[in-house]
């Protein structure tokens, strides 16, 4: 994720409710958990639509590679670089935010996917069209929501009981964990459904599905069709700072949400 924390003084696309501005004129900053936080510490993502089928190389744990094709119309999180007289145009792609089935299709057995983010030289930069953030993705977040128990004063480690991933290409992947101390975030999701429609008004997102995902507090709104179930995601505009127990780690920043009426958090920096 550090790849995307650009040290440029840029304005945030979305205003963070619950944050207060500092009086420093040279940079925009906010107060989170009593600490001044500059905007470049928070996540700053860009979104692109693939305009034609595009080949990418995946690297596996035995150092073998495999070519995969990203279909036309796929939405990715990344950042495009214009290049220079000595450098080709390139794009950095955060592939890990695509859905599990795409990432693991034809993956060699017993091998882990190592390269899920990287900079790719572009012979045709126009193949990646910059778009606005999709309505189903929250601001400043990669779309990973966690139902967790923690203390912001670092008196206890964060324990994760369930995880909802909203992928950049429009899937909802949900898992619940019996042992919150042994979480593998890259494991196969227990439930997975395509997002059929999404709306975003104010601090509330509505995601619509053809089938229900158990345990997420979905509401049945139609008897038939692809929009039978609705999941409501509300930004509570309550960001906070969290320090984990690593001696050399930097503080992390999260925002509080409710997902289907239950409390979740997502990392924003």
pLDDT confidence of residue 24: 42
Q: How many CB atoms lie within 10 A of CB 256?
A: 16
Predicted TM-score (pTM) of this structure: 0.80
The residues that bridge with 229 in the sheet, in sequence order, are 209, 220
Strands 128-131 and 117-121 come out as: unpaired
- Whose tokens are 């001044």? That residue is 36
φ and ψ of 100, to 5 deg: -60, -45
φ and ψ of 125, to 5 deg: -60, -25
pLDDT tens, residue order, the chain (269 aa): 433 333 332 223 232 333 333 334 456 766 676 666 666 666 788 999 999 998 888 888 888 888 888 899 999 998 888 888 888 888 888 888 999 999 988 888 888 887 655 556 666 767 889 999 999 999 999 999 998 887 655 556 778 889 999 999 999 999 998 876 666 666 789 999 999 999 999 999 999 999 999 999 999 999 999 999 999 999 999 888 877 665 556 778 889 999 999 999 998 88
Q: How many CB atoms lie within 10 A of CB 91?
A: 20
Strands 75-81 and 65-70 come out as: unpaired
pLDDT confidence of residue 12: 30
């Amino acid at each position: 994720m550090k790849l995307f924390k650009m040290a440029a003084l840029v304005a945030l696309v979305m205003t963070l409710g619950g944050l207060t501005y500092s009086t420093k004129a040279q940079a925009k900053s906010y107060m989170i958990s009593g600490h001044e936080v500059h905007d470049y510490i928070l996540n700053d993502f860009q979104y692109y639509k693939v305009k034609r089928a595009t080949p990418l190389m995946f690297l596996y744990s035995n150092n073998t590679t495999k070519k995969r094709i990203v279909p036309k119309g796929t939405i990715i999180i990344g950042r495009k670089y214009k290049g220079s007289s000595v450098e080709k145009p390139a794009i950095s792609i955060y592939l890990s935010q695509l859905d599990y089935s795409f990432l693991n299709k034809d993956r060699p057995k017993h091998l882990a996917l190592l390269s899920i983010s990287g900079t790719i030289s572009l012979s045709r930069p126009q193949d990646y069209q910059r778009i606005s953030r999709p309505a189903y993705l929250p601001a400043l977040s990669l779309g990973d929501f966690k139902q967790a128990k923690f203390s912001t004063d670092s008196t206890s480690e964060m324990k994760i009981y369930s995880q909802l991933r909203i992928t950049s290409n429009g899937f909802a992947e949900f898992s619940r964990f019996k042992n919150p101390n042994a979480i593998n975030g890259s494991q196969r999701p227990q439930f997975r459904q395509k997002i059929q429609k999404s709306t975003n008004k104010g601090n509330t997102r509505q995601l619509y599905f053809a089938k229900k995902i158990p345990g997420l507090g979905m509401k049945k709104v139609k008897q038939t069709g692809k929009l039978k179930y609705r999941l409501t995601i509300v930004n509570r505009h309550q960001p906070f700072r969290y320090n984990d127990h690593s001696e050399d780690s930097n503080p992390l920043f999260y925002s509080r949400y409710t997902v289907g009426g239950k409390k979740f958090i997502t990392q924003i920096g």
